[in-house]
Amino acid sequence: MAAVIAWNSPFSSATAKIIPALLAGNSVVLMVSPENSLGMGFLAELLEKAGLPEGVISVLPADRETSEYLVSHREVDKIAFTGPTEPAVASPRSRGSNSSASAWNWAERPHSMRIAQEEIFGPVLVVIAYDDEDQAVRIANVSEYGLSGGVWSADAAHALAVARRVRTGTVTVNGAPVALDGPFGGFKASGIGRERGAVGLGTLHRVQDHHRLMR
């Protein structure tokens, strides 16, 4: 199995791929961004000290060309990828700005603007007004992405009903924490398949159906 992770949240992303893969009996080549190769090397050392056999986990700091070669290799049976829809290069300055304590508030932006459609790795809050509940749901669902969403209401049952209309892989109600054993993944351009939980574990097995005549 080839696991590709992005530069942000490397440990949680890596373990969400590695642990289920090991439970399912797979070996893993973990391709990491050069920006976090040191931390992922430390993770590999911990797994080795825990008694994992040599070669079961391989950590490979990889650029785009190397990653494309590996994920297209015929010997790779499964690919787990976390990253942008289209690979992009961010400057160190833009990444460093994510740690700023201040926030920018963009109020009443058209929901078609890129800043309202894509995840912003920085202290940015986009506020979009709506006239009624149906319009709010339409605005939420018009995005080509659908990883996660949230609904807040004094009426928890009503909030849950609205949450079921939101086309995202995960929806929280009134800020509830996300269960780490639940299936994680998105709709639309936010991904195919699920990680974590029983649903995610099931994607790491090959199913073979046998038929034979009984005599």
Residues 80 and 9 reside in one and the same domain: yes
Q: Residues 176, 180, 183, CA angle at the centre, nearest 5°? A: 95
Residues 140 and 73 reside in one and the same domain: no
Domain annotation covers residue 46: yes
Residues 85 and 158 reside in one and the same domain: no
Cβ atoms of residues 44 and 59 within 8 Å? yes
Domain annotation covers residue 94: no
Cα(first)–Cα(last) distance of the chain, in Å? 40
Domain annotation covers residue 95: no
CB atoms near residue 30 (< 10 Å): 25
Our count of domains for the chain comes to: 2
Q: Does the pLDDT at position 98 exceed 70?
A: no
For 64-73, write each residue's pLDDT tens digit. 788 788 878 8
Cβ atoms of residues 72 and 65 within 8 Å? no
Provide the residue range defining the domain that includes 187.
130-208
Domain annotation covers residue 186: yes
Cβ atoms of residues 33 and 61 within 8 Å? yes
Res 109: pLDDT: 67
Q: Which residues, 6 or more positions from 106, have their beta carbon under 8 angstroms from its beta carbon?
A: 115, 116, 124, 125, 126, 127
Domain annotation covers residue 103: no
Domain annotation covers residue 153: yes
For 17-47, write each residue's pLDDT tens digit. 999 999 999 999 998 888 877 888 888 888 8
Residues 144 and 197 reside in one and the same domain: yes
For 156-200, write each residue's pLDDT tens digit. 999 999 999 999 999 999 999 988 888 999 999 888 889 888 888
Strand partners, 183: none
Domain annotation covers residue 23: yes
Residues 9 and 81 reside in one and the same domain: yes
Residues 196 and 135 reside in one and the same domain: yes
Domain annotation covers residue 110: no
pTM: 0.72
Q: Does the pLDDT at position 48 exceed 90?
A: no
Beta-strand runs (E) in the chain:
2-4, 28-32, 57-61, 79-81, 104-107, 124-127, 145-146, 148-151, 170-173, 187-188
pLDDT band at 105 (very low <50, low <70, confident <90, very high): low
Residues 84 and 134 reside in one and the same domain: no
Tokens of 44: 């590999």
